[in-house]
Structure 1
Amino acid sequence: MAKVGVKDTRKQQLINATMESIAELGMQNTTIISISKRAGMSSGIISHYFGGKRGLIEAALRYLLAHLGKELRERMAETDGSLEQRLNCIVDSNFSNFQRSALAAKTWLSFWARSMHEPGLQRLQQINNARLYSNLRYAFAQVMEPTAATEAARQTAAMIDGFWLRSALSLDPQESFEAGQRLCKRFVQDTLARPQTTSVSVTQREQPLERTIHYSR
């Protein structure tokens, strides 16, 4: 059991070092050497645990996705279960202190750019996008007809992604993140306030892609 703990600790240290290297040097200039130096480990251990740089970078992206899912579940557990609060949890998780930190923001931006050229990263990003849309649509479908729920989910996802991206690239990221978060939540509030009619039964409503809620940009 002790060996498993050491392995997990070392793998997390390498993931942290990868994000630090990407944030400082960019994806292109991040190397096995730059990562291993930050982690204080030999370069060979990266190949041993992850099979190389590409495997480690994918592991770092999975870590960011898992962190978002964890934040969302924790926030959901503290709500009264109302629809607006559940939707706000999705927004708040995306704009959390960790997700708006310089380390996470720079790493996300690098992943997004690289995913257009790396099939593994592209696959993870597509899964992530599908989870976001599915969770949003499932929530809106509680009070909307399918077509309206689809439209609301797409608009909300676009606003979350758009405001997050603009904020990460702005001269004053923290102020922009806060403004984007407020505007996304206002959109959710305004959308739910519109008169809705629905004849969709509980058994007919589309279920989320996974029983466990996951969310990210």
Structure 2
Amino acid sequence: MPKVGMPDIRKPQLVKATMTVIERVGLHAASIALISEEAGVSSGIINHYFGGKHGLLEETMRSILREHGATVSKALADLPKTAHKQRILAIVKANFDNYQTQGCVIKTWLAFWSHSMHDKQLMRLQRVNEMRLLSHLLIELKAIFCESHAQNVAHAIAALIDGMWLRAALSPEGLSHNHIESIIENYVETQLLAQQTQY
């Protein structure tokens, strides 16, 4: 976490530089020297405010997660509370918006996921992100399905989001966002149809 007093103008500058350097050379080679050079600041500033590379990576991921959270919130705010299917699909779409699929953001996400397996603080951030996604989905799904089935469908949608995002990130050709969203929408439609045929 950045220390109190860190100029707000410096935070986005350093976050952007961190993502740019990670995209260019990878997390392990992304040294404080390279990041500070990219940001046009001294290495001492990064060490002073973030305690080094680890703290800066944590702040970078917090920034990405805040951006993602704001995108989801805005998408849901534009829809009626009772439009459950549309709200589910809006949550899905928010995971593939333009910001989240930038090359530098994608590579930072991948580095974060890998690094979080060996770092308790980064793993905590990942868990918060995971629970937030499930929470958003469950609010809508519980209005349609019973508790247990809503839980199952929420986890399946989350797995589809993560799996399709990962396939797109690692594929040289990538995947069409529309194609990804249609695959997940087909799953949601199948679940809704099965629910209707029970009555």
TM-score scaled by structure 2? Answer: 0.91
Distance 1:93 1:5, change over 3 A: farther
| 4+ long deviations beyond 3 Å | none
* Residue 160, structure 1, aligned to residue 161, structure 2: yes
* Equivalent residue number for residue 147 of structure 1: 148
Letter in structure 1 aligned against 2:160: M
Deviation per CA, 1:103-145, whole angstroms, max 9, x where unpaired? Answer: 1111111111111112221111011111111221221111111
Shift of 1:74: 1.3
Q: CA RMSD in A?
A: 1.8
Distance 1:196 1:88 in 2: 19
In 1, are the aligned partners of 2:6 and 2:49 still within 8 Å (CA)? no
SS in 1 for 2:144: coil
With over 3 angstroms needed to count, the CA separation of the structure-2 counterparts of 1:146 and 1:196, relative to structure 1, is: farther
Relative CO higher for 1 or 2, CA cutoff 8 Å, sep ≥ 6? Answer: 1
8 Å CA contact 1:143, 1:196 repeated in 2:
no
The answer (yes or no) to whether the contact 2:71–2:94 under 8 Å persists in 1 is yes
In the TM superposition, what is the alpha-carbon distance from 1:6 to its structure 2 partner? 8.0
1:108 pairs with 2:91: no
- Partner of residue 27, structure 2: 27
Q: Secondary structure at the match of 1:181?
A: helix
Distance 1:80 1:174 in 2: 30
Distance in 1 (alpha carbons) for counterparts of 2:107 and 2:196: 40
Kindly, what percent of the aligned residue pairs are identical? 40
Contact 1:76 1:89 (C-alpha < 8 Å) held by counterparts: yes
**Structure 2 counterpart of 1:89:** 90
1:39-58 maps to which residues of 2 (within 5 A)?
39-58=39-58
Letter in structure 1 aligned against 2:45 = I
Aligned residues: 193
Q: TM-score scaled to structure 1, two decimals? A: 0.83
Partner of 2:73: 73
Change in Cα spacing, 1:92 to 1:125, as seen in structure 2 (3 Å) is same
Unmatched tracts of structure 2, length 5 or more: none
CA contact (8 A) 2:31 2:53 kept: yes
Distance change (3 Å), C-alpha of 1:109 and 1:188: same
Deviation at 1:174, TM superposition (A): 4.5
| Residue 63 (structure 1) aligned with residue 63 (structure 2) | yes
Q: Secondary structure at the match of 2:195?
A: coil
**What CA distance in whole angstroms lies between the structure 2 residues aligned with 1:100 and 1:189?**
25
2:84–2:140 Cα contact (<8 Å) kept: yes
Deviations 1:133-173 (A, max 9, x none): 12212211111111111111111111111011001111211
Q: Note if contact 1:99-1:105 (Cα within 8 Å) is conserved in structure 2.
A: yes
Pair 1:193 & 2:193 matched: yes
Rounded to whole Å, the distance in 2 between the matches of 1:121 and 1:35 is 20
Determine if contact 1:100/1:174 at 8 Å carries over to the other structure: no
Question: In 2, Cα distance between the equivalents of 1:99 and 1:181?
Answer: 14
In the alignment, is the contact (CA less than 8 A) between 2:157 and 2:184 conserved in 1?
yes
Q: Per-residue deviation at 1:192?
A: 2.3
C-alpha distance in 1 between matches for 2:189 and 2:122:
33
Structure 1, unaligned runs of 5 or more: 198-217
**2:180 corresponds to:** 180
